[in-house]
A and B are shown apart, each in its own frame.
Chain A
Amino acid sequence: MTTVATKQAAMELSANKYVQAGHVEAPSGTYSDARLEEAKLIRRVRQGDDDALRDVVERHRIRLIRTACNILRDAMEAEDVAQEAFLKAFRELHRLRDDRAFASFIYRICVRLCVDRLRLKRAEPSPLEPSSPAQHGSIENRVLVERLLARLPADLRTTLVLREMEQLSYEEVARVMDVPVGTVRSRLHSARERFRALWLAANEQD
């Protein structure tokens, strides 16, 4: 009996770790465990269980905040968006047909909220400050990357971040952004080309 309980606890722990690590998809065994655990929690949330609600928020917060932070490049705004994503997800829980798919459901909501925020902001027209990205340290590089990302249109920027920073597959990016895989390919190609041109221009300025 104790062995079974320990085994189950270990499985739950590994499933939680997997979700928190930021994976949308995982190897079949761990993935299905994580999804089953998720389904149980969501069922309890539907019944009004506050502890389950807290568990769900705790499970997903790191992934949502990180992704939002990478897309928006603003920690406070990222927290704001993550919280809004939770509110929207719980408000629209009745639309979720399969409780096991909550992770991708809330992730999609969060990414879309980020894209909406980016669209509301105007592309930064300010000229790039001269710097040498290849020679400076990682902090300067990061600042420059943020400045360059801010110059890309919302869709291109989000696609680039999801693929390069969040390391999602093309199919996952397509699912999250609700576009065909072909669109992801062409957006990623354009995003890379534009980012590259901006990067080279920044280098030349120096």
Chain B
Amino acid sequence: MFLRNSCRRYKKLRDRRSWESLGERSTKFLATHIANCPACRQWEGDEERLSRILRLAKREYEGRPGFTEATVKAVHNDRLRRRSATWRPVALGAVTAAFAVAAALQLVTDSANQLASPTGEAKRHELRGLPDSVMPGTFKLFDTPSQAAPDPEPFDV
């Protein structure tokens, strides 16, 4: 039990030593423990070997020769894409708004023209307020005399 506790303490202090300097007492404990504990010696050796192996496994790859040019080009393309992505909705909105204004103007102009010179057909009974059975048919507004319907022939009595 004593040994396991001291081994735990050893590993804890050993870990702490990685990021801060230990006091004299702790340093002395580490030295004494490692000298007397084969398990911790083994652990220490494994730790060092693993650190070394990890460092040796470091890759020194520096990239292909055209990396810089390709990256600069990619940055340019990205800037262009972002610029167009920013302006595209604005341009689309502006075009839509322009169409809407043009359509509204067209409608207003048309209705103004119609009010100024009305054309078309109206039913006679609507004008005179008579029922359809009495005054059937329609007549043209502003018909010229030449276009007007001929007078009906008199009935024979």
Q: Is A26 an interface residue (CB 8 A)?
A: no
* A151-168 near B? 1/0 per residue, CB < 8 Å: 000000000110011110
Say yes or no: B53 contacts A78, CB within 8 Å: no
Residues in B with CB closer than 8 Å to A82 are 63, 67, 71
- What are 7 of the A-B contact pairs (CB < 8 Å)? A50-B72, A78-B63, A83-B71, A141-B57, A164-B55, A170-B19, A199-B50
Q: Is B153 an interface residue (CB 8 A)?
A: no
Residues in A with CB closer than 8 Å to B104 are none
Tell me which residues from 34 to 68 in chain A have a Cβ below 8 Å from any Cβ of chain B: 50, 53-54, 57-58, 61-62, 65-66
Q: Size of chain A's interface in residues, with CB distance under 8 A?
A: 44
Say yes or no: B64 contacts A165, CB within 8 Å: no
In the assembled complex, the Cα of A78 lies from the Cα of B61 at a distance in Å of 9
Tell me how far the C-beta of A19 lies from the nearest C-beta in chain B, rounded to whole angstroms: 14
In the assembled complex, the Cα of A188 lies from the Cα of B16 at a distance in Å of 12
Say yes or no: B72 contacts A142, CB within 8 Å: no
Q: A65-B61, A69-B59, A82-B63 are in contact. List 6 more A-B contacts (CB 8 A).
A: A65-B63, A70-B58, A70-B59, A133-B53, A141-B57, A146-B57
Tell me how far the C-beta of B75 lies from the nearest C-beta in chain A, rounded to whole angstroms: 5
Residues in B with CB closer than 8 Å to A70 are 58-59
Say yes or no: B72 contacts A54, CB within 8 Å: yes
Say yes or no: A87 contacts B61, CB within 8 Å: no
Q: Is B70 an interface residue (CB 8 A)?
A: yes
Which residue of chain A is the closest to B75 with respect to CB atoms? A90
Say yes or no: A57 contacts B72, CB within 8 Å: yes
Q: Is A23 an interface residue (CB 8 A)?
A: no
Which of B60, B75, B78 neighbours the largest number of chain A CB atoms within 10 Å of its CB? B75
Q: Is B47 an interface residue (CB 8 A)?
A: yes
Residues in A with CB closer than 8 Å to B60 are 66
Say yes or no: B47 contacts A53, CB within 8 Å: no
Say yes or no: B53 contacts A165, CB within 8 Å: no
Say yes or no: B68 contacts A79, CB within 8 Å: no
- Set A78, A86, A146, A192: member contacting B50, Cβ < 8 A: A192
- Set A65, A73, A188: member contacting B62, Cβ < 8 A: A65
Which residue of chain B is the closest to A53 with respect to CB atoms? B72
Say yes or no: B71 contacts A61, CB within 8 Å: yes
Tell me how far the C-beta of A63 lies from the nearest C-beta in chain B, rounded to whole angstroms: 10
Tell whether A58 pairs with B19 under 8 Å between CB atoms, given A138-B56, A165-B57.
no
Say yes or no: B78 contacts A91, CB within 8 Å: yes
Say yes or no: B72 contacts A83, CB within 8 Å: no
Tell whether A196 pairs with B57 under 8 Å between CB atoms, given A53-B72, A61-B67, A66-B62.
no
Say yes or no: A62 contacts B62, CB within 8 Å: yes
- Set A79, A134, A141, A165: member contacting B63, Cβ < 8 A: A79
Which residue of chain B is the closest to A79 with respect to CB atoms? B63
In the assembled complex, the Cα of A197 lies from the Cα of B53 at a distance in Å of 15
Say yes or no: A195 contacts B50, CB within 8 Å: yes
Tell me which residues from 1 to 60 in chain B have a Cβ below 8 Å from any Cβ of chain A: 15, 18-19, 46-47, 49-51, 53-60
